[in-house]
Homo-oligomer: A and B are copies of this chain.
Amino acid sequence: MGWSIAEVARTSGVTSRTLRHYDAIGLLPPAWVADNGWRYYEHEQLLRLQQILLLRELGLGLDAVAAILEQQSRHTTVEVLRQHRDWLVAEQERLARLVHTVDRTITDIEKGGEMAPDTMFQGFEHNPYEAEARERWGDDAVDASHERIKALSADDAEKARTGYGRVHDGLAPLLAEGVPASDERVQELVDLHFQVISLFWTPNAEAYRGLGQMYVDDERFRQNIGQGNDALVTYLRDAMAIYADGKL
C-alpha cells in the first residue's frame, strides 16, 4: 500500500531529494516509514504535495507555505499572499530602479568610451604626462586618440547625447536650487562621476581638475555635458575642483 518516494517523485514532477527535504523540515512527512527506513506516501500526502507545489509556484518560501497549510484558514492564507504580493511588488520596483541605473551607467561608460580616452590623451598632450601616456598605451593609441578627437562631429555629440545621465540628472536640480558646489549632495554626485571615470582611468587631483576645466573650455564637451546649459558645466567644473582639492 502507498507509494514509494521515487513513484511520488515521478508522478508529481519533483525529485526524491526534494521530498526528503520536505520531510526533513517537517513540511511533508510520509504517511509511514517502514522498518527498513523507506518512506511511503498515501493519497493524503499527494494532495498536500500538490498544495505545496501550487503555493510554491507563486514564489512563496517554504516557511510561508508551511504557515498557510498549518492554518488552513482563508484569512491567514489571504494575509500571507497579500504580504507576499507586497514583497513581490517592492522587489519589482527595486529591479526597475536597478535597470534604470544600469542603463545610465552603460551610457555613461559608452560615452566615456567615445570621449574619456581622448580627454585622457588630450589632457596629456600639452603637459608632462604625454610621454608617460605614450609609454603606457603606445604611440598608436595616442595618435588614434588624436585622430578620433579631431573627428568628433555633431553626429558623435548626438550619439553621446544621453551620456553622463546619472550625474546630469542629479546636478541640474541642485544648480537650479542654488546649492553651492561645495555642498555634500553635489560632492556625492561628483564622487559618482569620479568613480565612473575611475573604472578605466584614475586621474590625480591635477588631472581631475584639468578635466573639469576642459569640459568648460571645449565646446563639444560643454555641449554634450551641459545640453545647452553652460552654467551646469561651470558648476560641475567648480565642484570637481573642490572634490580634487578635498579628496584627491
A residues in contact (CB < 8 Å) with B: 47, 50-51, 54, 57-59, 68, 72-74, 77-78, 81-82, 84-85, 88-89, 91-92, 95-96, 98-99, 101-103, 105-106, 109-110, 112-113, 192, 195-196, 198-200, 202
A166 CA to B5 CA, complexed, in Å:
31
CB contact between A59 and one of B89, B98, B200 (< 8 Å): that residue: B98
Total identical chains: 2
| Contact status A102-B58, CB under 8 Å | yes
Of B54, B58, B200, B202, the residue contacting A74 (CB under 8 A) is: B200
Contacts of A103 in B (CB 8 A): 85
Contact assessment for B109 and A54 in the assembled complex, using a CB-CB cutoff below 8 Å: no
Given A57-B101, A59-B98, A72-B200, 7 new contacts (CB under 8 A): A47-B202, A59-B102, A73-B200, A78-B106, A84-B102, A88-B99, A92-B99
- Chain B residue nearest to A72 (CB atoms) is B200
A217, chain B: closest CB distance, angstroms: 25
Residues of chain B within 8 A (CB-CB) of A106 are 78, 81-82, 85
Distance, CA A57 to CA B57, complexed state (A): 29
List 22 A-B residue pairs with CB atoms under 8 Å apart, sorted by A's residue number. A50-B195, A50-B198, A51-B195, A51-B199, A54-B192, A58-B98, A58-B101, A59-B102, A68-B199, A72-B200, A74-B109, A74-B200, A77-B199, A81-B105, A81-B109, A82-B106, A84-B102, A88-B98, A88-B102, A91-B95, A92-B95, A92-B99
How long is the Cα–Cα vector from A92 to B105 in the complex, in angstroms? 19
Tell me how far the C-beta of A192 lies from the nearest C-beta in chain B, rounded to whole angstroms: 8
Q: Is the CB of B105 within 8 A of A99?
A: no
Shortest CB-to-CB span from A144 to chain B, Å, is 15
CB A163 to nearest CB in B, in angstroms, measures: 13
CB neighbours (8 Å) of A81 from chain B are 102, 105-106, 109
Point out the residues of chain B lying under 8 angstroms from A50, CB to CB.
195, 198
The answer to whether B113 and A99 have CB atoms under 8 Å apart is no
Chain B residues closer than 8 Å to A199, beta-carbon distance:
51, 54, 68, 72, 77
Query: With A and B bound together, what is the CA distance between A242 and B238 in angstroms?
Result: 77
Which residue of the partner chain B has the closest CB to A114? B74
User: Cα distance A54–B104 when bound, in Å?
Assistant: 13
Q: Which residues of B contact A113 (CB under 8 A)?
A: 74, 78
Measured in the bound complex, the distance between the Cα atoms of B47 and A85 in whole Å is: 40
